[in-house]
Chains A and B, each alone.
Chain A
Amino acid sequence: MKIKIIIPTDTIHNPIIAESMLETNVLLNIMVANIDSTYGELIADVKDSQFNRIKKALESKGAVVAVLDQPITRDEEECVDCGACISVCPMKVYSFDENWSLCVDDKKCIQCGMCIKMCPHGALKLGE
Chain B
Amino acid sequence: MVEKSVQEINTKIEDGSVNVVTAEEMVGIVEELGAEGAAKEVDVVTTGTFGAMCSSGLMLNLGHSEPPIKIQKIWFNDVEAYSGVAAVDAYLGAAQNSDVRGIQYGGAHVIEDLLRGKEINVHATSYGTDCYPRKVLDTSITLEDLNEAFLLNPRNAYQKYAAATNSSKRILHTYMGELLPKFGNVTYSGAGVLSPLSNDPEYQTIGIGTRIFMGGAQGYVIGNGTQHSPNNGFGTLMLRGNLKDMSPDYVRAASFTGYGATLYMGIGIPIPILNEKLAASTAVRDSDLVTEILDYGAGSRDKPLIREANYAELRSGSVEIQGKEVPTSSMSSFKNARKIANELKEWVNNGKFFLSMPVEGLPRDRKVKPMKQTQAVPLVKDVMSDFIVTIKKDQTVRDAAKKIWENSFNHVAVISDSGELVGLVTAWDISKAVAENRFDSVETIMTKKVLSCAPNEPVDLAARRLDRNGVSAMPVVDTQTRVLGIITSDNISKLFARRY
Contacts and interface: CB of A to CB of B under 8 A. Distances in A.
A28 interface: no
Contact of A117 (B51, B178, B252, B335): B178
Interface in B175-199: 177-178, 180, 184-187
Nearest to B449: A36
Interface residues of A, number: 20
Nearest to A86: B329
Q: Is the interface on chain B under 10, 10 to 19, 20 to 34, or 35 or more residues?
A: 20 to 34
From B51, B329, B336, residue with most partner A Cβ within 10 Å: B329
Interface string A103-128: 00000000000100110111000000
A81 B333 contact: yes
Given A117-B257, A120-B262, A83 B333 contact: yes
Interface in A26-47: none
Contacts of B185: 87-88
Interface in B273-326: 317
A99 B332 CA distance: 15
Contact of A81 (B173, B256, B336): B336
Contact of B255 (A80, A84, A86, A120): A120
* Majority SS at the chain A contact face: loop
A70 interface: no
B178 A120 contact: no
Nearest to B262: A120
A82 B333 contact: yes
Interface in B456-473: none
Nearest to B261: A120
B327 interface: yes
Contacts of B332: 82
A118 B52 CA distance: 14
* Majority SS at the chain B contact face: strand
A84 B331 contact: yes
B50 interface: yes
Contacts of A100: 333-335, 338
Given A81-B335, A100-B338, A117-B178, A87 B187 contact: yes
Nearest to B258: A117
B335 A99 contact: yes
A100 B336 CA distance: 9
A6 interface: no
Nearest 5 A/B pairs, CB to CB: A87-B329, A120-B254, A87-B185, A87-B327, A100-B335
Interface of A: 80-88, 95-96, 99-101, 114, 117-118, 120-122
Interface of B: 50-52, 173, 177-178, 180, 184-187, 252, 254-258, 262, 264, 317, 327-336, 338
28 contacts: A80-B50, A80-B252, A80-B264, A80-B333, A81-B335, A81-B336, A83-B330, A84-B177, A84-B330, A86-B328, A86-B329, A87-B184, A87-B186, A87-B187, A87-B328, A87-B329, A88-B178, A88-B180, A88-B329, A96-B317, A99-B335, A100-B333, A100-B334, A117-B178, A118-B178, A120-B254, A120-B262, A120-B264
Given A100-B334, A100-B335, 10 more contacts: A80-B50, A80-B336, A81-B334, A82-B51, A88-B185, A100-B338, A117-B178, A118-B178, A118-B329, A120-B262
